Structure 1
């Protein structure tokens, strides 16, 4: 299985499976910004390598100061981690919820972190009939059953933001909630939707952000959490010392200053998202509207095609796509692809077109 370790972007397994060299795959299975990393990352790696003989700042002060300035929140409300994955695991271990409400489908690491603490899961359905948008009645049904909500905002793999009235009701209910805003940087009107500021003073709300997706630095591992200062101190006590290395701190601080990169990324995404989703629909695929840099779609039942068949065919052509049926709540017909540069997206569409023609011819032969 290509997602042997639960994620896209596993080029080592792809090489073993399809026989292509790792550096020759066109990877639509992981959701990185194709405009990155920013050029300043290359400069830091070139200039700062001698400084790895020093210990990193255990309090990550410079990066936290930059984050506080950018998002207008107190430094004391920020905890930086070794990617969002570490922070997801930390918050689960500290809060130790008995039952956690998860919207399905959603990122598998939420459930994995909760299971490690012995907690149970309450499934909140996201239905295709509602374009996978979270519904108020389903949230209300969960209120009496859970002691923590763990929600993607925007959600992965659906690309949907949580409706504002649902977030307002959740906050007013006083129930604890962790919002994973890993892809919020890609949202055009980010400041209108993010709850970072509210989380910095709230005792019930925790917001996790990733820096690896937007700035294309997944190999560096960098993310941060925003919560009430007392909660941050409690969580930090459970964090492994030296969790955030020296280069990650330097790179994180530098990329936050690159406003041009941020503007260019949002401009690219709005244009390319419209083009790619339009092309996917022209192929006859059922496309879910997305707010971010990836697209969830399904093969209509009459096509008689499963995502595993599609993944095998495309992988043999050197193009990697994500098997979205591995997300609980999605059928074997669902696929997720990243939005990349136009040249790459054209190759994806051509590959899918050839595949649909090949499978169509095969099905006609069988019938």
Structure 2
């Protein structure tokens, strides 16, 4: 199983399974910007390496200041972390909900893992294929007002693996119930009009709202591990009190500050994605796949009804061809008919379509 450790992008496991070196794979199982890290990352590595004999800034002041300027908020509303995964964990650890954690499934597995790690229960609101996996306000608000109502809601916007955002009005209604709401906006940078969608400004004004952002997906630096959370000063202080000292390395801080200035890189990525996502969606549809609408850089796909192949078998056949896909049946609420793929550059997307066409024709 490629998702041995719960995620895509595990090239070591893939090499063990398929006998192919990591460099030979085209990895559609993880959702990174295919342009790779901005050039400025190399400049940072070349010019700052001698400073690695110093401790990192424990308060991450330089990066927090740049993020605050970017979002028009105060640095005290920001906590930087070792990727969004650490911040999800810190949110649960700091808030310790007595009434459990509310999730809209299918969703990122780290939400439930964090809740269970600290002894919390999980309340699940299902999203259905017939609704294009959009979150029903009626179902959420019913769960939010019930006897077992959650103390915290953790919602992806865009959601992983569906690529759909949560309706802003629904989030505000949840906040009005008194619940604490954590919005994971890890992939929102890929959306050109993110300013109209993000709840970062709202999170500085609402004591029961926290927004989590990742910097690793958009800037293609997952090996660096970097993300940040925005919330009330009180919530941020609570999370900081639970955080391991020097959680954000010097390299992560330097690179984070540098990439925030890469506006041309950001605009290029957003222009490319709008065109390439449409091309890939059409190409997958031509193979008989059902592709669900996504506003970000990955697509949830249902395999053709006439094909007997299941996601796990397809993942094996594709892996043997050097193409890695995500078996989406590992997301709760999805069955063996679903896969997830990243959107990559045209040449690589063509390779995906060719390999997928060959595999779907096998009996």
Q: In which range does the TM-score fall when normalised by the shorter chain? A: over 0.9
Q: Secondary structure at the match of 1:200?
A: helix
Would you say the 8 A contact 1:201–1:229 is kept in 2? no
> Paired residue for 2:293, among 289, 294, 311?
289
User: Unaligned regions of 5+ residues in structure 2, if any?
Assistant: none
Q: Between Structure 1 and Structure 2, how many residues are aligned? A: 359
Displacement of 1:303 after TM fit?
1.2
Matches within 5 A, 1:155-174: 155-174=159-178
Displacement of 1:355 after TM fit?
1.2
TM value normalised by structure 1? 0.96
What is the root-mean-square deviation in Å for CA atoms of aligned residues? 0.9
Q: Secondary structure at the match of 2:155?
A: strand
> Paired residue for 1:185, among 164, 182, 189?
189
TM value normalised by structure 2? 0.97
Displacement of 1:16 after TM fit?
0.2
Aligned mates of 2:223, 2:114 — CA distance in 1 = 21
Aligned mates of 2:164, 2:234 — CA distance in 1 = 31
Q: Secondary structure at the match of 1:350?
A: helix
Deviates more, 1:146-155 or 1:171-180: 171-180
Q: Secondary structure at the match of 1:302?
A: coil
Relative to structure 1, the CA distance from residue 174 to residue 161 in structure 2 (aligned partners, 3 Å threshold; closer, same or farther) is: same
Aligned mates of 2:196, 2:212 — CA distance in 1 = 17
Q: Secondary structure at the match of 2:318?
A: helix
Aligned mates of 1:300, 1:137 — CA distance in 2 = 31
- Residue 319 of structure 2 is matched in structure 1 by 315
Would you say the 8 A contact 1:101–1:149 is kept in 2? yes
Is 1:356 aligned with 2:360? yes
Matches within 5 A, 1:57-136: 57-98=57-98, 99-136=100-137
Aligned mates of 1:124, 1:52 — CA distance in 2 = 46
- Residue 2 of structure 1 is matched in structure 2 by 2
Would you say the 8 A contact 1:212–1:218 is kept in 2? yes
Deviates more, 1:219-228 or 1:292-301: 292-301
User: Unaligned regions of 5+ residues in structure 1, if any?
Assistant: 363-367
Would you say the 8 A contact 1:307–1:332 is kept in 2? yes
Displacement of 1:327 after TM fit?
0.3
Structure 1 consecutive aligned stretches of length 4 or more whose deviation exceeds 4 Å: none
- What's the CA shift string for 1:336-367, capped at 9, x where partnerless? 0000000100000111111122x2xx2xxxxx
- Residue 153 of structure 1 is matched in structure 2 by 157
> Paired residue for 2:284, among 277, 280, 284?
280
- Residue 19 of structure 2 is matched in structure 1 by 19
Displacement of 1:189 after TM fit?
1.0
Q: Secondary structure at the match of 2:309?
A: coil
